[in-house]
Structure 1
Amino acid sequence: METILDKIIAQKKLEVAELQRSGFRYEEVRPHVSLVENLKKPGVTVIAEIKRASPSKGALNVEVDVKEQAKQYELSGAGAISVLTDTNFFKGSFQDLKDARSVVSVPLLCKDFMIDEVQIQKANEAGADIILLIVAALPVERLQELYRYATELGLEVIVEVHDEEELEAALAIGPAIIGVNNRNLKTFEVNLETTERLAKRVVSSGALLISESGIFTKEDVVRVQRVGAQGILVGEAFMRADSVADLFGALRI
């Protein structure tokens, strides 16, 4: 049966073909800022996400003012900001990434389903410092090629995994950052036990660990920090929050 991830990747292939047909070219115009350095600081680094909608939850805050949201994240202490740039399934765009870049100086993550170099170029041009590579979405050889390409451009890479097999594929690259997504991209079910199960192997490898998805309370933060997470990626909770600053305070440990 076709999964949501299958549908997303099929759409990405169409988008890549369109970008290639358009003759897209980019120019590097700025230095990058480092998420790695922030993750090495004491405490848990919060990567706050701008996500208008999702396939599993529907609309979260479709009409969000991206610039204002990004400024609130930076003022509240975000160590990085993640911007969903997928349009068909998450209602985002590369313009959202550009808008965030225009008002903040913290590292920016382009959150998308990367399958080709041209998407990485587009993210870089739009203001990304970090990209996401999802092991579940890529053949191992392609994962390695895209990782090398991104790092050669000076971008940092979060290599995202969901289970033990994917983790071994990720570790073969020797990445600086591994993100454990507590959301299964095939079923979209969320369970923090995923981070707890995979954390020891990540930490022992020397990679920095980020726990992604399903984090709403201080207890959730404590739970993933206890097993070695140096960062958390939080989207839905911030997009639904009445006060970004108050939620940051509630999550801070």
Structure 2
Amino acid sequence: MTKGTVQNKDKFLNKIAKRLGRERRNSGVKLPEWAKLPQYEVFKDFSQDELMEQFINHCKNIHTSVKVTKKESLKETFHEAISDLGGKSIVYWNDDRFRYYGLTDALYEARAHHNIDVHCWNPQLGEENVKVAEKANIGITFADISLAESGTVVLFSNADKGRSVSLLPRTYLAIIPKSTLVPRMTQATEKIHKMASDLGRMPSCINFISGPSNSADIELRLVVGVHGPVQAIYIVIEDE
């Protein structure tokens, strides 16, 4: 893992210590031991089915439709979601999970039978992928982690999984294996820290997406589609 150079680190830390009225500490620093850890109590001991129920309930609050299906009926549900989002053109990740779940074939079927333009993210094409994503009607990715508390999908980007796929198209479709569901941000960050420790690196980008883009002004008037997809559908696969 390549590390960058931190400039003026000692000078900066020494100045902070001086402002605190003490010598700078280089050892003996311990993390605090908290008497209460409420972040671990949310949906504690929930089964995957119970987490899925909470996830679906919260999606109602973030203007996101959820379709639940089994692997054997995923293709049918997938085509239904594409139709609900208007078809036309699709950009999707170069992700082995599309092949594993039979969705690569489903995308070819959409192209052949419904005249839908389909583009798989290709790192060799560089910025051309971004141009395609800007014009696409639907962006499709898998979720790497999903948060039951907030209806959030967490996406890990790399060369084959461009972040533009979930950000630039008019609509967004997330494929969510039920096994990716965790209670909340607490468990997601634990998984990310473990991944960084095991692999010695982090994804190039980590996105937390909670439904279609929206914003509210000072009068709390909600506007959907300000800076990203105006509509989102989640497909949860009961993979356990």
TM-score by length of 1: 0.28
The answer to which structure, 1 or 2, has the higher relative contact order (CA under 8 A, 6+ apart) is: 2
TM-score by length of 2: 0.28
The structure where strand makes up a greater share of residues is: 2
The structure where helix makes up a greater share of residues is: 1
